[in-house]
Structure 1
Amino acid sequence: MSKSRSSEPRGPSQRQLRVGELIRRSLSDLLTRGDLHEPELSGLSITVGEVRATPDLKLATAFVLPLGGGGEERMLAALRRAKPEIRHQLARSMKLKHAPDLKFEIDRSFDRMDETRRLLSDETVRRDVAAGRAEDEDE
């Protein structure tokens, strides 16, 4: 009996998650060591929050943020210029058949977390949550 496929979108596979995490750690190590020949990246602390690989593992998107904020566009431009060298060094350090192409984007997850905290601390939301808890306890 074959498995039926639902029309709901599926999340990343275990392989995508594993490869993404391997790339994230390797990229973080590479950027921390500062072995790149891109002058604008030297002395710049970059946080690699997440790396998402496509299902075919041919493209990996790295979500990055300069430590302390600011200079995001300059950092992205420098990473994009250094992409061939970064990809080459990652391919040497990882045990993958093919090194995926890299794409760099600003990591906005911290902004989303701050917005969520702000929303949850709003008095109206806190009152609604408390009311919902009280209803659950009454049942």
Structure 2
Amino acid sequence: MAKTRHQSAARSGGAPTQRQLRVAELIRRALSDVLARGEVHDPELLGVSITVSEVRCSPDLRHATAFVLPLGGTNTEGVVAALNRCKAEIRHLVTGQIELKYSPQFTFQPDRTFDQMDRTRELLDSPPVRRDLE
């Protein structure tokens, strides 16, 4: 079967396919459930509410990058480091909730979108921009 241009573009770093998006959302929900119930046994994660804002999957669905942020944004680097230390346990807990042919390897990264939104808001409120808008 011939590949369409869209499929080959997705494999070479283009837009994710519908399957990648669907699996990423399944993983995000399962990961959120696991973290909300506090099933991960790490002292640094005890009592910490963690938001999983996005999960991105590789085209072969064997790797997943989760973008996380602790509630309040405090100790983000420590929480991300703790999650990366416990990724084997998290992988086991998450794949017990969803059915996939392969269990993806997890990588956790801090979510920086809120910082970018704040920076954009600051730029839009700056005097030169406000002057140009008037």
Q: TM-score, length-normalised on structure 2?
A: 0.85
- The residue that corresponds to 2:68 in the other structure is 64
Q: CA RMSD in A?
A: 2.2
Task: Choose the corresponding residue for 2:127, options 100, 123, 137.
Answer: 123
Unaligned runs of 5+ in 2: none
The letter of the residue matching 1:56 is: D
- The residue that corresponds to 1:23 in the other structure is 27
Structure 1 counterpart SS, 2:109: strand
Change (3 A) 1:67 1:126: same
Unaligned runs of 5+ in 1: 131-139
- The residue that corresponds to 1:133 in the other structure is none
Tell me the distance in 2 between the aligned counterparts of 1:79 and 1:40.
9
Pairing 1:92–2:102 present: no
Deviations 1:87-116 (A, max 9, x none): 001111012111110000010000001111
Tell me the distance in 1 between the aligned counterparts of 2:133 and 2:16.
32
Rg larger in 1 or in 2? 1
Q: TM-score, length-normalised on structure 1?
A: 0.82
Deviation at 1:129?
4.0
Percentage of pairs with the same residue = 56
Q: How many positions carry a matched residue from both structures?
A: 129
Deviation at 1:123?
2.9
